[in-house]
């Protein structure tokens, strides 16, 4: 059983943790692990060079969460880290004072930057970083070419283009985004490892991640949509929107910017039915959104209604099981 998951940071990480736990039960290898293989194709549009280091927020959220080291309370970074180095960098006037990098997290960025400077690709560097963690999931950046999401905003009557993280973290997405720009996307392509994981998957899951700046960015890499369309495996998506709201985070601000309503129905239609040239063979929406199932079915998207909150390991594992069951249908 090979499952390939298209993912962003927090929503992707939570889903992957549930999927790993479900597959360990459903396909045990007798050693606490699973004979099933999970590959995550991860958004790298939030990546940046900061204080001379390559930072990959979504890859790291997933790595720390699956490695059991994520600071779940804060939502990012590592448990038990201090910010002494970050304070020092601020004192030197480099970096972004509103984007604190904890000391343990900085260790990851230093190691990654070192691998990249040795000439490794991001895929290879990610594999090296993953070696020390018991992930049970193969992490693949969507592309080895840098693609950076920038956002056009208007501040004090002036048009400005800022890095996605500046809009997201500094402005808390409160300044309306005029548009998103994928800098570098024209020269990017999915890695051979990503294409292989899509082609040879038994099931492909679109995680409950931000539809615009996580999933949308992955889909925007030239060749990605074609690979998904050509895949033999069913593609099942999990709605990141429950009861008309982004569960955690500010996905609604991103959807509004691209003119899509913040509802499970609108996001499902935005992805579209694979039979009609879109992405999805199946779509999972929450019980509170059940009335939308008929609308989605009419749009050619077979829809399953299940609880979508990933509150703890049990609910996350059940959601993963439900997604695989929907794919089988």
- Give the SS3 label for residue 251: helix
Choose the stretch contacting ligand GDP; rule: CB under 6 A; options: 1-9, 79-87, 119-127, 129-137.
1-9
Cβ count near 198 (within 10 Å): 24
Binding flag, residue 211, Ca ion (CB under 5 A): no
CB-based contact 66:60 (threshold 8 Å): no
Question: Which residue in the set 251, 253, 257, 323 belongs to the binding site for ligand GDP (CB under 6 A)?
Answer: 251
Q: How far is CA 128 from the centre of its chain?
A: 20
Binding flag, residue 105, Ca ion (CB under 5 A): no
Length reported for the chain: 329
Please tell me the count of residues contacting Ca ion according to CB under 5 A. 4
Record the tokens describing residue 227, joined without a space: 């690979």
Facing residues of 153 across strands? Answer: 160
In whole angstroms, the minimum distance from the beta carbon of 77 to ligand GDP comes to 12
The smaller minimum CB distance to Ca ion, of residues 256 and 288, is found at 256
Question: Which residue in the set 9, 77, 136, 216 belongs to the binding site for ligand GDP (CB under 6 A)?
Answer: 9
Helices (H), 212-298: 215-219, 224-230, 251-257, 264-271, 292-298
Choose the stretch contacting Ca ion; rule: CB under 5 A; options: 13-21, 39-47, 63-71, 129-137.
39-47
Find all residues with CB under 8 Å of 251, minimum gap 6, and list them. 210, 211, 212, 240, 241, 262
Question: Which residue in the set 4, 39, 51, 61 belongs to the binding site for ligand GDP (CB under 6 A)?
Answer: 61
In whole angstroms, the minimum distance from the beta carbon of 229 to ligand GDP comes to 22
Binding flag, residue 74, ligand GDP (CB under 6 A): no
In whole angstroms, the minimum distance from the beta carbon of 210 to ligand GDP comes to 3
Q: Angle at CA 147, nearest 5°, toward 118 and 240?
A: 120
Q: What are the residues binding ligand GDP (CB under 6 A)?
A: 7-12, 14, 58, 61, 208-210, 214, 238-242, 246-249, 251, 308-310
């Amino acid at each position: 059983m090979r499952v390939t998951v298209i993912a962003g940071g927090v929503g992707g990480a939570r889903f992957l943790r549930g999927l790993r736990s479900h597959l360990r039960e459903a396909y045990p290898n007798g050693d606490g692990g699973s004979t099933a293989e999970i590959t995550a194709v991860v958004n790298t549009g939030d990546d940046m060079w900061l204080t001379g280091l390559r930072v990959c927020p979504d890859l790291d959220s997933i790595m720390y969460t699956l490695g059991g080291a994520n600071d779940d309370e804060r939502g990012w970074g590592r448990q038990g880290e201090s910010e002494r180095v970050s304070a020092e960098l601020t004192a030197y006037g480099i970096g972004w004072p509103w984007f604190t990098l904890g000391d343990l997290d900085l260790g990851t960025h230093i190691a990654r930057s070192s691998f990249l400077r040795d000439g490794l690709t991001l895929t290879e560097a990610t594999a090296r970083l993953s070696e020390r963690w018991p992930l049970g999931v193969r992490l693949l950046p969507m592309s080895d070419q840098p693609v950076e999401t920038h956002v056009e905003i208007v501040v004090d009557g002036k048009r400005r283009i800022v890095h996605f993280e500046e809009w997201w973290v500094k402005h808390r997405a409160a300044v309306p985004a005029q548009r998103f720009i994928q800098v570098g996307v024209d020269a990017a392509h999915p890695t051979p490892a990503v294409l292989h994981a899509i082609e040879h998957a038994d099931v492909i899951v679109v995680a409950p991640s931000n539809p615009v700046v996580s999933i949308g960015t992955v889909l925007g890499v030239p060749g990605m949509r074609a690979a998904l369309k050509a895949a033999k495996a069913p593609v099942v998506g999990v709605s990141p929107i429950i009861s008309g709201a982004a569960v955690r985070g500010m996905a609604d601000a991103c959807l509004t910017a691209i003119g899509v309503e913040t509802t499970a129905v609108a996001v499902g239609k935005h992805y579209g039915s694979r039979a009609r040239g879109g992405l999805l063979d199946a779509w999972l929406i929450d019980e509170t959104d059940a009335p939308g199932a008929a609308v989605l079915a009419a749009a050619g998207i077979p829809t399953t209604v299940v609880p979508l909150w990933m509150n703890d390991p049990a609910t996350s594992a059940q959601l993963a099981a439900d997604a695989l069951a929907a794919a089988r249908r």
